[in-house]
């Protein structure tokens, strides 16, 4: 098993994505690639405990990600 | 489906682009490439809630992008 | 012997992962790859001596890692 | 169309270049390459609203660029 | 002679590793690779003159290293 | 014409090199390569308006450079 | 001539190495490679005018280097 296999298993499920700089996202994982670029839907952005719902999808750039928690 | 496919679907539509350092852009996506370099038209720049309209097009360098929201 | 061989020997054992920016994780190493991307289960996140248990698995991006201590 | 095509169309025209760290340049685009290295002539440097004219040409390194506005 | 040859000569000997951000390690070099990833055993971590012994081995990621002193 | 061609034309002439972090150099360009590594002779280092003459040559690493002004 | 040729000419001679973050080293250049990794002997570390002699050799990682002055 490789680490990114967990993303395959998490497709269409809710994940938590922690970003560099303290921002994080919660949303449904619609797609990913080997650079850890992620496509999230029904996402919420969390900055210092302040939650902002985001409509539509969000494409998160992989190199700003610290960890992903399926 | 791969994450960047959402950009193909977003061509000629309005997107929100969040940059490293707190700056963001809203504009129409005219073009993109695999490095996430984006060409936006009719863009507005938003820095700390201050909105500045930008005339013409804006070429945004991909490696400064945190997320793109179509 | 190469440095990453120690990860092979640490599979399914508890490791400590120190991240850039002062955050660290303790968890069971379920998978790793050559970029040092890690999959941890039963992980705890430690920020400034504050320990937060994390349910499920956590995929940690390799380029944010400072060191791994099996 | 690809994002960098706009640079081809902007050759010998005035562009605005925003750099990481808050510095920006306005000048005539004499040349560019795929790394977004730019050659500007008749450039002005703008740091916090202070404008400094620069004689001759300026070679701007692509990886310090945030966006280019033709 | 190339710079990394000194690591071959330092195998199983004590080295000092200075990291970005002011942290450093002293330990026995058990393995290294071309990315300067290091495996140290019997290591001590030094942060601002505070020394913490670390049991077992420590895998230090090469891109956080400033210098290695065999 | 490509941006780096201006360096070929600037060989053995005086250039200004602005670095990340606010430091800059003025010196005669003796050599360059495609990574923008530069070899300067008769260089002066300028940090916050304080000028320090440097004897001999200085090899400046390309990835710390913001711009070069021939 | 290419910039790194100056390192070949500086082998076994004293060089000054300025690092990102304000640290610098003076020492005899025993080896180098194309990534600007350097092996210095009889080195002194200088941080804010405080000089610390370092016994043995020091392997300095190239990507932390700002400039080298032979």
What value does the mean pLDDT take over residues D2-18? 95
Please report the domains of chain D, with CATH numbers, ordered by start residue: 5-69 (2.30.30.100)
Strand ranges in G5-64 using DSSP code E only, listed in sequence order: 14-19, 23-32, 38-47, 50-53, 57-60
Residues from chain G that touch E65, judged by Cβ atoms under 8 A, are 61
Interchain contact F/A (3 or more Cβ pairs less than 8 Å): no
Residue C27 has pLDDT above 90, yes or no: yes
* Percent above pLDDT 70 for chain A: 100
Residue of G nearest to F65 (CA): G66
Residues from chain G that touch F60, judged by Cβ atoms under 8 A, are 3, 66-67
Q: Which of D61, D63, D65, D66 to mutate to test the interface with F (most CBs of F within 10 A)?
A: D61
The greatest distance separating any two alpha carbons of chain F, rounded to the nearest whole angstrom, comes to 36
Q: Which of F59, F62, F65 to mutate to test the interface with G (most CBs of G within 10 A)?
A: F59
Asked if the Cβ–Cβ distance from E56 to C68 is below 8 Å, we say no
Asked if the Cβ–Cβ distance from A23 to B70 is below 8 Å, we say no
**CA of E1 vs chain G CAs: smallest distance (Å):** 6
- E12-51 per-position pLDDT tens digit: 999 999 998 888 999 999 999 999 999 999 999 888 888 9
E-G CB pairs within 8 A amount to 50
**Option in B33, B57, B64 nearest D66 (CB):** B64
Output the pTM of the full model. Answer: 0.88
Residues from chain B that touch A58, judged by Cβ atoms under 8 A, are 67-69
What value does the mean pLDDT take over residues D56-63? 93
Going from the C-alpha of F8 to that of each of B39, C7, D29, F32, G3, the distances in angstroms are 31, 48, 18, 8, 13
Q: For chain G, say whether E69 makes contact (Cβ under 8 Å).
A: yes
For D5-16, the three-class secondary structure string (H helix, E strand, C coil) is HHHHHHCCCEEE
Residue G1 has pLDDT above 90, yes or no: no
What value does the mean pLDDT take over residues G18-39? 93
* Percent above pLDDT 70 for chain B: 100
Residue B41 has pLDDT above 90, yes or no: yes
Q: For chain B, say whether A21 makes contact (Cβ under 8 Å).
A: yes
Q: What is the mean pLDDT of chain B?
A: 92
Alpha helices in B1-70 (DSSP H): 5-10
Q: What is the mean pLDDT of chain C?
A: 92
For E31-44, the three-class secondary structure string (H helix, E strand, C coil) is EECCCCCEEEEEEE
- D15-54 per-position pLDDT tens digit: 999 998 888 999 999 999 999 999 999 999 888 888 988 8
CA-wise closest residue to C40 among E33, A1, A31: A1
List of chains touching C (3+ CB pairs within 8 A) = A, E
For chain C, the three-class secondary structure string (H helix, E strand, C coil) is CCCCHHHHHHCCCEEEEEECCCEEEEEEEEEECCCCCEEEEEEEEEECCEEEECCCEEEECHHHEEEEEC
Residue B22 has pLDDT above 90, yes or no: no
* Percent above pLDDT 90 for chain F: 73
Task: Mark the ranges of chain F whose per-residue pLDDT is less than 70.
Answer: none
**Option in F2, F6, F65 nearest D61 (CB):** F65
Give the length of chain F: 70
d(CA E15, CA G55): 12
**Option in C23, C38, C63 nearest A3 (CB):** C38
What integer pLDDT is reported at residue A53 of this predicted model? 87
Q: For chain D, say whether B39 makes contact (Cβ under 8 Å).
A: yes
Residue A55 has pLDDT above 90, yes or no: no
Q: Given the cut 0.85, state whether the ipTM is greater than it.
A: yes
**CA of A17 vs chain C CAs: smallest distance (Å):** 10
What value does the mean pLDDT take over residues A3-15? 96
What value does the mean pLDDT take over residues A3-9? 95
Residue G56 has pLDDT above 90, yes or no: no
In the structure, what pLDDT confidence band is assigned to residue G44 with cuts at 50, 70 and 90?
Answer: very high
What integer pLDDT is reported at residue G12 of this predicted model? 97
């Amino acid at each position: 098993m490789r680490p990114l296999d967990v993303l395959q298993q998490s497709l269409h499920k809710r994940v938590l994505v922690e970003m560099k700089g303290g921002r994080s996202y919660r949303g449904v994982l619609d797609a990913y690639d080997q650079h850890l670029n992620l496509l999230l839907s029904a996402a919420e952005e969390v900055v210092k405990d302040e939650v902002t719902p985001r409509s539509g999808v969000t494409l998160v750039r992989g190199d700003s990600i610290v960890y992903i928690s399926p």
